[in-house]
Amino acid sequence: MEIALILLALLVLFVIVVLAKTVRIVPQARAGIVERFGKYKGTLPAGLNILMPFIDRLRYLIDLREQVVSFPPQP
């Protein structure tokens, strides 16, 4: 009986880990770069996204907001 309880706890823990790796939320005004086995696969838009657990990896979050840069006046 104890072994079954331990196996059930391990199964629940495994399911939680898989769900945590599957569902990714990309914040507003950002885009996520997805790699599959280390190669570029695609770009995720902002919002709720689903990845293949243990295969896809969200590597970088790119900021899409405009950045204001002041340049010195030209003669």
For residue 35, being part of any structural domain is answered with yes
Task: Please report whether residue 14 resides in a domain.
Answer: yes
* DSSP states of 5-73: HHHHHHHHHHHHHHHHHHEEEEPTTEEEEEEETTEEEEEEPSEEEE--TTTEEEEEEEE-S------PP
State yes or no: pLDDT of 11 exceeds 90: yes
- Look over the chain and give the mean of its residue pLDDT values, rounded to a whole number: 93
Express each pLDDT in 39-55 by its tens digit.
999 999 999 999 998 89
* Residue 44 maps to a domain: yes
pLDDT for residue 74:
87
Confidence at residue 75, expressed as pLDDT on a 0 to 100 scale: 82
What per-residue confidence (pLDDT) applies to 1?
79
Give me the domain span that covers residue 20.
2-63
Confidence (pLDDT) at 40: 95
Q: Decide which of 10 and 75 is more confident.
A: 10
In a domain, 58, yes or no: yes
The number of folded domains in the chain is 1
